[in-house]
Structure 1
Amino acid sequence: MQKHHILWADDEIDLLKPHVMFLEKKGYNVTPVTSATEALDLLDEQNFDVVFLDENMPGMTGLEALPLIKERRPDLPVVMITKSEEEMVMEDAIGSKISDYLIKPLNPNQILLSVKKILDNKRLVSEKTNLNYQQEFRNLGMAVADYQDFEGWKDIYSRLVYWELEIDNRTDNSMAEILEMQKSEANQAFSNYVEDNYEDWLNEPDIERPLMSHNVMKEKVFPHLEGDKPVFFILIDNLRLDQWQMLRPIITEGLDVEEEDTYYSILPTTTAYARNAIFSGMLPLEMSKRCPDIWVGEDVDEGKNNNEDKFLERQLKRARIDVKWSYHKIKQQSQGRALVDNVNNLMSNKLNVIVYNFVDLLSHARTEMEVIRELAHDESAYRSLTTSWFKNSPLGDLIKQLSSRDVKVVLTTDHGTIRVRKPYRIIGDRNTNTNLRYKQGKNLSFKDNDVFVARRPEKMHLPLVNVSTAYVFSTKDYFFAYPNNYNYYVNYYRDTFQHGGLSLEEMIIPIISLNSKHGK
């Protein structure tokens, strides 16, 4: 194991030789110097992992040297050592971003603890995380093997996301490959479960079923309209559970979580179906029949999500909810800024619905733009890019504005997305839709394994373009590819983030109710 190198500056360093020898016996290299000036000179010549700095040396003091050290090496940990317990001295040192603060006389174990806390913390935490996941691996495997219900699958996916983020945050991610394999096995079992139960969820009146897209407004939004607070329903398109967990610490700086849950997106897991189901309160087949003037089917080229406000208006009328409400779809930065500037006016509405398209645009841009592919080259980078966007986005500013007002916020999405790896050959005519995770059309040719086939779409409440229409959903991390120009097509789309099919990532998605902490 590589030894860590400590630079120790103290004018009484000879008296500290026992401590230096103690650290060297513990496996650390220690370079002792007697002045801050010597320490600064050495920092210009070689690398160190941590600096021990006496606060009260003659000539240049430790406090005077500290900003010079940070100027040269901003990320270098510094431990301030002093005889003084004065609060002002401590505040000066802490304000200069020291990593630890030790008071003389020093104890060898006190020094060792400080070093380990600074230098070995990431390694120790990583080792502990890996050990804990190894212990959890068996429990998750047993849970996946058992025939879970829909609540059980929500729990399994939440646990997998937890460990994915834990391992992702550690320096040693040797367990990442094992976790990825376990997620793949879980997705296979989950796909089998959904195939066995999906039609029953939609058709059997007397069974237990999960909350699904078409009941989100009724179950999670409309009840809040009976309270005295304005309700903001914010839908971030294409937001996965792991992305929500990354955004959670930022959002909860100003908002308290009242309820944190997940629900099941309907199939296909796309905006055209799942998001329209949210705003209409209906399944796609019912939308096509009851609202033919605003439903846009697969056989029409125009945008499929241009009538969400009309669907919502009709759902409110059916529910006999007569309130002042607004609807905003944010596709551009300027639209988001204008909405933030208009917050005061929104407060007079009982319900404000806001759709943010950025995460969906990000997933498509990653497919089409090389620079985005580089920035979001894997799951971890994809999450990080989402977080960076949110911190600097008008949506982040809107959340800050709402945190200072007495409001209710319901935050959710319409579906998730999955990183596709494996091509799946399928043949269709020129009228077949272009989505990579599901196909709808007639005369589709494919093998039946690793796909979920709806040969009677009406049983899944999906509209028929003609009597021989079928829907085919990809599972796990497959994506559909046509035999024509197959190699180019596969290379172009492999490792991109797609949605429309059947997976934990696409179907089990977050929904959170929040209250402002400060608004009164």
Structure 2
Amino acid sequence: MPNILWVDDEIHMLKGHLLFLESKDYSFQTCNNGIDAIELFEHTSFDAVFLDENMPGLSGLEVLEQMKSIRPETPIVMITKSEEERIMEMAIGSKIADYLIKPVNPNQVLLSLKKILKGKELVSQKATRGYQQVFGKLTLEMQQLETWQEWSDFYRELLRWELELEKSSEEGLKSVLATQKSEANELFSRYISNHYENWFESKDRPMLSHEVVGQIVAPEIRAGEKVFFVVVDNLRLDQWLVMKPMISEDFNINTEGIYSSILPSATQYARNALFAGMMPLDIKNNYPQYWKEEHEEGSLNEFEGELFKEQLKSLGLGSKNVKYTKVTNIHWANKFVSNIHQNKEADVVALVYNFVDALSHARTDVEVIRELASDDNAYRRITATWFEGSPLRKALKWAAENGFKVVLTTDHGTVNVNKASKVVGTRDLTTNLRFKNGNGMSYPNKHSFVVKKPEKIGLPKHHIVDEYIFALSDYFYAYPNKFNHYVNYYRNTYQHGGVSLEELIIPYVVLEGK
């Protein structure tokens, strides 16, 4: 039975309240002054405290401060005569768990107690019931999805329930959802395998990487807006959703949409296409000086700034003052924020921010990060914690304060891989675990989306017989040499480059400062 302390100089007037609440299985101890209340509070553990603000001697606010210094974790409900601003501020600042306006009735007190003591449990029960009710509908629905729009809507619905069930203690139900998501990924992989090549001969398809600037960024520039264009490398849709509440504190979200990363859903291909406004094969043909192969020295995305300026020129925006910056570590992030005022006169500021991708790689190589980001839920929490105090958030606030319209997006997502698919090939195959390109490869077809003619999907090749294979769902490629070693090392790591809901269905938003 929860033990509650009620402090009020007129506690004798509240006997009816106490009897009612005791009938609801709450136990009460009472005090009629602050000094006795603090002494009792020091020596007794209470589940909650009801505290009258206006008492003779020590005031309620003075008692509150002392109680918080003794047991800061105990929820305290302030009972006050009016909705004064300072009481509101304390409630917002979490010094008090709730506040009630006199005269209070027993049901108000009961509701407050339920909210404080059983709030998480009630939210958990609501989430559990909600998912149980839609489970059958989702299972049936995913068997019938036929278009990109249907798949992207369905994925958002799955993520909504995944985030809801984080509030639930029902681990079994979370496991059911994980299985349902895995089944959805297998069906989505089949959908992409059957339709992706046709997208390049049809208008009935999603917006792809190379079209984002032309369709989303350029119209803002033409409308006379100064644009702060941010590409957060490797940002998944679910990670955006946990960042969204913090973004909404400083921005109105004018547009929130989805586009598809091209294949391979890897930085060399997807992000170069994003900045160039053309597919990788066209970049290689039109700007060979800006295209690098995997075996060449230097960054494979070394010339994004140059490609971005060329794209703006092709869109009739070549006269704009454009600044491009790539941030790859905290040192460069802080340096960018320190010197951000230098971008004030720019028409377009493009920023590539590399934290989430670095987190993904660190999770593979660093044991402590692998433990901290042990699953999708933990991976999201780390992303939210990072963003809350990050230099990126400071940069976005600066953009809002200086009249920039913000376009925030990513180049591709990432998926937690668990199943190995054996591939045999020559030494010059790509090292990526989620796709391979080359010739003479041997692989299980059922684990791969195979493209025999890369030029049909806008990809370059070295030899006339080169092909691309893309791992489906949560598979990753491993060579026969030391197969078990590499399988154990890379299983349950985050990889990108292949076909999954997480890698291909990715967000973009247009933001305006409040």
**Which TM-score bucket, shorter chain as reference?**
over 0.9
> Could you say which residue in structure 1 is the equivalent of 2:259?
263
Q: Please state whether the residue corresponding to 1:253 is helix, strand or coil.
A: helix
- Give the residue type in structure 2 aligned to 1:239: L
Q: Equivalences for 1:323-472 in 2 at 5 Å?
A: 323=319, 324-472=321-469
Cα distance change on mapping 1:320 and 1:91 into 2, 3 Å: closer
Q: Please state whether the residue corresponding to 1:510 is helix, strand or coil.
A: strand
> Could you say which residue in structure 1 is the equivalent of 2:300?
304
For the Cα contact (< 8 Å) 1:411–1:511, is it kept in 2? yes
- The C-alpha deviation readout for 1:338-368, integer Å capped at 9, x for no partner, is 3334434323222221111111111111111
Q: Distance in 2 between matches of 1:320 and 1:373?
A: 46
- Give the residue type in structure 1 aligned to 2:211: N
For the Cα contact (< 8 Å) 1:298–1:465, is it kept in 2? no
- The C-alpha deviation readout for 1:284-319, integer Å capped at 9, x for no partner, is 222222222221123435421111122223323333
2:148 to 127, 147, 150: 150
Number of equivalent positions? 512
Instruction: Name whichever of 354-363 and 453-462 sits farther off.
Output: 453-462
Cα distance change on mapping 1:257 and 1:12 into 2, 3 Å: closer
> Could you say which residue in structure 2 is the equivalent of 1:319?
315
For the Cα contact (< 8 Å) 1:359–1:386, is it kept in 2? yes
- Give the residue type in structure 1 aligned to 2:340: V
Extract structure 1 runs of 4+ deviating beyond 6 A: none
Q: Distance in 1 between matches of 2:257 and 2:6?
A: 51
Q: Please state whether the residue corresponding to 1:513 is helix, strand or coil.
A: strand
For the Cα contact (< 8 Å) 1:408–1:514, is it kept in 2? yes
Q: Distance in 1 between matches of 2:403 and 2:94?
A: 37
Q: Distance in 2 between matches of 1:91 and 1:271?
A: 47
Q: Distance in 2 between matches of 1:505 and 1:136?
A: 22
Is 1:23–2:21 an aligned residue pair?
yes
> Could you say which residue in structure 2 is the equivalent of 1:253?
249
> Could you say which residue in structure 2 is the equivalent of 1:499?
496
Cα distance change on mapping 1:79 and 1:252 into 2, 3 Å: closer
Instruction: Name whichever of 473-482 and 273-282 sits farther off.
Output: 473-482
1:509 to 491, 506, 510: 506
- The C-alpha deviation readout for 1:390-431, integer Å capped at 9, x for no partner, is 222221111111111222211110000111122222223322
State the Cα distance separating 1:37 from its structure 2 match: 4.2
- Give the residue type in structure 2 aligned to 1:307: F
Instruction: Name whichever of 166-175 and 328-337 sits farther off.
Output: 166-175
Q: Distance in 2 between matches of 1:337 and 1:248?
A: 22
State the Cα distance separating 1:34 from its structure 2 match: 5.1
For the Cα contact (< 8 Å) 1:230–1:347, is it kept in 2? no
Instruction: Name whichever of 462-471 and 177-186 sits farther off.
Output: 462-471
Structure 1 alignment gaps of length 5 or more:
none
Is 1:488–2:485 an aligned residue pair?
yes
> Could you say which residue in structure 2 is the equivalent of 1:118?
116
Q: Please state whether the residue corresponding to 2:116 is helix, strand or coil.
A: helix
> Could you say which residue in structure 1 is the equivalent of 2:138?
140
State the Cα distance separating 1:139 from its structure 2 match: 3.0
State the Cα distance separating 1:13 from its structure 2 match: 4.7
Q: Please state whether the residue corresponding to 1:509 is helix, strand or coil.
A: strand
State the Cα distance separating 1:444 from its structure 2 match: 2.1
State the Cα distance separating 1:486 from its structure 2 match: 2.8
Q: Distance in 1 between matches of 2:209 and 2:104?
A: 62
Q: Please state whether the residue corresponding to 2:300 is helix, strand or coil.
A: coil
For the Cα contact (< 8 Å) 1:218–1:281, is it kept in 2? yes
Cα distance change on mapping 1:340 and 1:26 into 2, 3 Å: same
1:50 to 48, 71, 74: 48
Q: Distance in 2 between matches of 1:36 and 1:126?
A: 36
Q: Distance in 2 between matches of 1:172 and 1:484?
A: 42
RMSD over aligned Cα atoms = 2.4
- Give the residue type in structure 2 aligned to 1:286: D
Q: Please state whether the residue corresponding to 2:420 is helix, strand or coil.
A: strand
For the Cα contact (< 8 Å) 2:309–2:322, is it kept in 1? no
Cα distance change on mapping 1:314 and 1:93 into 2, 3 Å: closer
- Give the residue type in structure 2 aligned to 1:474: A
Q: Please state whether the residue corresponding to 2:444 is helix, strand or coil.
A: coil
State the Cα distance separating 1:154 from its structure 2 match: 1.2
Q: Distance in 2 between matches of 1:482 and 1:36?
A: 72
Is 1:289–2:285 an aligned residue pair?
yes
> Could you say which residue in structure 1 is the equivalent of 2:159?
161
State the Cα distance separating 1:325 from its structure 2 match: 1.2
Cα distance change on mapping 1:437 and 1:363 into 2, 3 Å: same
Cα distance change on mapping 1:429 and 1:27 into 2, 3 Å: farther
Instruction: Name whichever of 484-493 and 26-35 sits farther off.
Output: 26-35
Structure 2 alignment gaps of length 5 or more:
none
- The C-alpha deviation readout for 1:101-154, integer Å capped at 9, x for no partner, is 335554222221111122122211221122222223233223211132111111
State the Cα distance separating 1:470 from its structure 2 match: 2.2
Q: Distance in 1 between matches of 2:36 and 2:358?
A: 54
- The C-alpha deviation readout for 1:22-59, integer Å capped at 9, x for no partner, is 32332333344555445434444453221122445565
For the Cα contact (< 8 Å) 1:254–1:404, is it kept in 2? no
- Give the residue type in structure 1 aligned to 2:393: G
Instruction: Name whichever of 424-433 and 359-368 sits farther off.
Output: 424-433
Instruction: Name whichever of 482-491 and 148-157 sits farther off.
Output: 482-491
- The C-alpha deviation readout for 1:447-480, integer Å capped at 9, x for no partner, is 1113211222222222112233222211112222
Cα distance change on mapping 1:89 and 1:496 into 2, 3 Å: closer
Instruction: Name whichever of 410-419 and 10-19 sits farther off.
Output: 10-19
TM-score, with length taken from structure 1:
0.91
For the Cα contact (< 8 Å) 2:120–2:167, is it kept in 1? no
Cα distance change on mapping 1:425 and 1:81 into 2, 3 Å: same
Q: Distance in 1 between matches of 2:85 and 2:246?
A: 32
> Could you say which residue in structure 2 is the equivalent of 1:40?
38
> Could you say which residue in structure 2 is the equivalent of 1:98?
96
Q: Distance in 1 between matches of 2:472 and 2:409?
A: 23
